[in-house]
Chains A and B, each alone.
Chain A
């Protein structure tokens, strides 16, 4: 939850759901802090205090169909991941990624457009990037060997930084081109995890 905005009901319920104790004191604390969500907090408190019932019955044919459909959906979701770990990342995802890794957005865009020499990227940074977009280092190595792509529409905004090279460059050069300060560049290049 972000302290600077009012958390959504979903955020509050999730936080409440993982509290170590779902007892009177916890419920009271949440009711005081989030009185607008009182009804849902009480409903959830009841669920959290419900006695567990072991389900020993065999699966119905409907249940099996649900599981089949879930697996098909999951298998489909990975079809583009192997070739492009950046597939399906929205512009907002890219922004969040840049924020998370504390680099300018054009650095992330350069990775997506395969304009970075993967072997020049410090292992620690690559690990963090891979973790954030749910890819493996191997995915990156495969992906990085593919040809450079054209910049996408997401980067067609007016930039204050100077134009970015189109041929693959080293990570350090990319940071220089993106206007990253010397101190930050050193820190990133030392990120060998």
Chain B
């Protein structure tokens, strides 16, 4: 394996010792056969972090604001935990490991609902399962290289989101073994007529760029039924509901539903969102 030697590879028990790690290539292979690579900025930062003392590294890893120039991205934190696994019995490593798990915890949606009084059991279950799987990946990685963790070194937030979606998918499938499928207007033969003008009028919902407005909108979209949420996301991403051109990817084709069903779901979603956002003073 090709390696890039950085710093001294010595190990001592003190916090004053250098981080001193060897930066190795990732082992995960892309579908085309080439190896995945870390972001160049992450690699460059790893080189400079390797020259810090362990105490300095821990202090910097405790910074939570991503905009802070001394912030250590989770991609780097994970790399350092993996690369220093031989020091797992040392106190400084434990602090580093705990900071990494704290980052994961803070990145996952909280089980508490925005009202602060109630909480979602399914969100709590997903959170527990995601943490559990991440911890297992790290534990296994101490003994056998776990390629899945490479994704986290490339794009930590994305890989964590992927893990969460995977857990949610399995939980959803489990839940629905005992429950009828989501109400589908088409299969019931019940199709609501499209409300003229509603889509155009409500598309202004997505025009505001103000951050607090966007966060409220995100929360409102989270509250929609799954199918409506997907349609709204695809609209936000610029997909058309349908097209006469068979080569164009549309929402109807992606979701395997008729144009009419998609429009009905869209109108219901937009009406819900408009109601949710109407108290925000932007309209």
Binding site for B on A (CB under 8 A): 1, 3, 7, 9-10, 13-18, 22-24, 27-28, 31-32, 35, 38-40, 42-56, 59, 63, 66-67, 70-71, 73-78, 81, 85, 87-89, 93, 127-128, 131-136, 138-139, 193
Bound together, the chains give a CA A126 to CA B31 distance in angstroms of 28
Q: How far is the CA of A12 from the CA of B157 in the complex (A)?
A: 16
**B36, B144, B169, B233: residue with the most chain A Cβ atoms closer than 10 Å:** B144
> In this complex, which of B64, B158, B221 has the most chain A Cβ atoms within 10 angstroms of its Cβ?
B158
Cβ–Cβ contact B230 & A17, under 8 A = no
Q: Tell me what chain B mostly uses at the interface: helix, strand, loop, or mixed.
A: helix
The answer on a CB contact under 8 Å between A51 and B214 is yes
CB of B94 within 8 A of chain A?
Answer: yes
How near does chain A come to B264, taking the closest CB pair, in angstroms? 18
Q: B169 to A9, Cβ gap below 8 A?
A: yes
**Which residue in A17, A71, A73, A87 is a CB contact (below 8 Å) of B162?**
A17
With a cutoff of 8 Å between Cβ atoms, the chain B residues found around residue A54 in the complex are 64-66
Q: Spot the interface stretch: B49-57, B83-91, B189-197, B275-283.
A: B83-91
The answer on a CB contact under 8 Å between B151 and A17 is yes
A52 and B109 CA atoms in complex are apart in Å by: 11
Q: Which residues of B contact A48 (CB under 8 A)?
A: 157-158, 161
- Number of B interface residues at 8 Å Cβ cutoff, please give it: 65
How far is A51 from B215 in the complex, measured between Cα atoms in Å? Answer: 7
- A22 touches which of B64, B105, B158, B215 (Cβ 8 Å): B158
B254 on the A face (CB < 8 A) = yes
A14-B148, A17-B159 known; A66+B101 contact, CB < 8 A: yes
- Considering the complex, give the chain A residue whose CB is closest to the CB of B211: A51
Q: Are B101 and A75 in contact (CB under 8 A)?
A: no
A24-B237, A28-B249, A74-B97 are known contacts. Are A14 and B31 too (CB-CB below 8 A)?
no
Q: Chain B's nearest CB lies how many Å from the CB of A44?
A: 5
- Partner-contacting stretch, out of B135-143, B200-208, B266-274: B135-143
A78 touches B88 (CB 8 A): yes
Q: When the two chains form their complex, are residues B143 and A85 in contact, meaning their CB atoms are under 8 A apart?
A: yes
B:68-90 near A, CB below 8 Å: 85-86, 88-89
Q: A131-B1, A131-B24 are known contacts; what are 17 more A-B pairs with Cβ within 8 Å?
A: A3-B31, A13-B165, A17-B162, A31-B254, A35-B254, A40-B169, A42-B230, A46-B233, A48-B157, A51-B215, A52-B66, A52-B157, A54-B66, A70-B131, A73-B135, A78-B89, A134-B85
Task: Decide: A87 and B143 in contact? CB cutoff 8 A.
Answer: yes
Known contacts: A50-B218, A67-B101, A75-B88. The answer to whether A134 contacts B135 by CB under 8 A is no
Binding site for A on B (CB under 8 A): 1, 3, 24, 29-31, 33, 36, 64-66, 85-86, 88-89, 94, 97-98, 101-102, 105-106, 128, 131, 135-136, 138-145, 148, 151, 154-155, 157-159, 161-162, 164-166, 168-169, 211, 214-215, 218, 221, 229-230, 233-234, 236-239, 249, 254-256
Provide the bound-state CA to CA distance between A48 and B258, in Å. Answer: 27
Q: A45-B237, A54-B65, A71-B94 are in contact. Are A81 and B142 (CB under 8 A)?
A: yes
Q: Are A15 and B165 in contact (CB under 8 A)?
A: no
- 15 A-B pairs within 8 Å (CB atoms) are namely A1-B31, A3-B33, A18-B151, A24-B237, A31-B254, A39-B255, A42-B233, A42-B234, A47-B165, A67-B105, A75-B88, A78-B88, A134-B143, A138-B86, A139-B86
B85 to chain A, nearest CB (A): 6
List of A residues within 8 angstroms of B214 by Cβ: 51
Complex alpha-carbon distance, A31 and B88, angstroms:
42
A93 contacts B142, C-beta separation under 8 Å: no
Cβ-defined contact, B169 with A133, below 8 A:
no
Check A23–B237 contact: CB distance below 8 A: yes
